[in-house]
């Protein structure tokens, strides 16, 4: 069988022609998969209450790995954005990130109602974002603005709402450090998504970037946010568990 035909059959022709978007789908898939394995295995090296946090980090990256597997295929077959897969993935993983905030502040009194508000806001953000991406040129700005309301509510909760108050009251340096980094993820890391969205035809930044594929933005943002977010929680979990070990050893 001739090589070009083979490449075409397995959908690699676009990669061989070095399509940067396709390559980021491949890298995204492997990076998510490797991270999920890492977080699951590392559950064994942290103290009890951190095990759930690492489990959730593993679920976030594991769920993303499965979706990247399908999105990569979809993109190679059709050359178009796998929008539905993308939003199914986000609908599962963004609420799980809200659960991470809840778990971090739970030892200091976080309530289920805070988690509920965060999840409702993230669903508002994602449902309206999906409608905006699929409804066409005329209304994607309108739905994008609505979606941003949900996003800003999450930012508000983490910077000034219940999550922020509990983190401040906790007096825990480890939680303080984690919250500082997670705030950077929520503001800078998460803002890559609306920027990608604004590159859609008819939207505010349409044509502003040389590479105007929305998937390049989303793939980059997913890698930063899902893996980075998990690593922040991992590093806090490791340093807190080490402290406890010293305490029990000297007691
Ligand atoms: C792992 C996936 C994550 C962290 C996804 C986050 C997604 C967003 C923050 C999306 C936000 C959007 C807006 C704020 C407005 C335009 C529509 C969206 C959905 C792209």
- Rounded to an integer, what is the distance from CA 218 to the centroid of its chain? 10
Ligand 1 pocket check for 230: Cβ under 6 Å:
no
Quick one: pLDDT band at residue 9, thresholds 50, 70, 90?
A: low
Nearest ligand 1 atom, CA 133: 17
- Residue 19, pLDDT > 90, answer no
Give the distance (Å) from ligand 1 centre to CA of residue 205.
16
**d(Cα 245, Cα 251) in Å, to the nearest integer?**
10
Tens-digit pLDDT profile for residues 205-247:
888 877 668 999 999 999 999 999 999 999 989 988 888 777 7
Ligand 1 pocket check for 90: Cβ under 6 Å:
yes
All structural domains of the chain: 3-250 (1.20.1070.10)
Nearest CA to ligand 1 atom 13: 194
Ligand 1 pocket check for 143: Cβ under 6 Å:
no
What is the residue-averaged pLDDT of the chain? 90
Ligand 1 pocket check for 93: Cβ under 6 Å:
yes
Rg of the Cα atoms in the chain: 20
pLDDT number for residue 216: 92
- Residue 2, pLDDT > 70, answer no
**d(Cα 16, Cα 89) in Å, to the nearest integer?**
27
Write the burial class of residue 188 (CB in 10 Å: 0-12 exposed, 13-18 middle, 19+ buried).
Answer: exposed
Average pLDDT for residues 179-197, to the nearest whole number? 94
Give the distance (Å) from ligand 1 centre to CA of residue 189.
10
Q: Supply 119's token pair.
A: 């999840």
Give the distance (Å) from ligand 1 centre to CA of residue 190.
6
Ligand 1 pocket check for 24: Cβ under 6 Å:
no
pLDDT number for residue 201: 87
Nearest ligand 1 atom, CA 151: 14
> CA 84, 149, 164, 186: dihedral to nearest 10 degrees?
40
Q: Residues of the chain with pLDDT > 70: what percent?
A: 92
- Residue 53, pLDDT > 60, answer yes
Nearest ligand 1 atom, CA 225: 4
Nearest ligand 1 atom, CA 150: 14
Ligand 1 pocket check for 190: Cβ under 6 Å:
yes
Tell me the C-alpha to C-alpha distance, in Å, between residue 203 and each of 30, 37, 138, 200, 250: 32, 38, 9, 6, 61
Tell me the C-alpha to C-alpha distance, in Å, between residue 60 and each of 54, 87, 99, 198, 226: 10, 14, 11, 26, 7
pLDDT number for residue 185: 94
Tens-digit pLDDT profile for residues 125-170:
999 999 999 998 889 999 999 999 999 999 999 999 999 999 888 8
**d(Cα 154, Cα 98) in Å, to the nearest integer?**
9
């Amino acid at each position: 069988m001739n090589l070009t035909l083979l490449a075409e059959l397995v959908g690699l022709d676009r990669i061989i022609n070095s399509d940067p978007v396709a390559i980021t789908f491949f890298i995204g898939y492997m990076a998510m998969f490797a991270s999920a394995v890492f977080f699951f295995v590392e559950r064994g090296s942290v103290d009890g209450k951190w095990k759930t946090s690492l489990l959730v980090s593993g679920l976030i990256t594991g769920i993303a790995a499965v979706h990247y597997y399908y999105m990569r295929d979809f993109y190679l077959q059709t050359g178009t954005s796998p929008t539905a897969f993308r939003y199914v993935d986000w609908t599962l993983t963004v609420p799980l990130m809200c659960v991470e905030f809840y778990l971090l502040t739970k030892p200091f009194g976080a309530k289920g109602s805070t988690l509920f508000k965060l999840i409702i806001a993230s669903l508002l953000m994602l449902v309206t974002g999906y409608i905006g991406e699929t409804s066409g040129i005329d209304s994607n700005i309108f739905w994008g603005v609505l979606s941003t309301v949900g996003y800003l509510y999450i930012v508000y909760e983490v910077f000034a709402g219940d999550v922020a108050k509990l983190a401040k009251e906790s007096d825990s340096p480890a939680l303080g450090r984690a919250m500082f980094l997670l705030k950077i993820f929520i503001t800078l890391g998460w803002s890559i998504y609306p920027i990608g969205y604004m590159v859609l035809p008819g939207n505010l930044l349409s044509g502003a970037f040389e590479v105007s594929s929305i998937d390049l933005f989303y793939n980059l943002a997913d890698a930063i946010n899902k893996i980075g977010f998990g690593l922040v929680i991992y590093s806090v979990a490791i340093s807190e568990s080490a402290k406890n070990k010293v305490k029990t050893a000297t007691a």
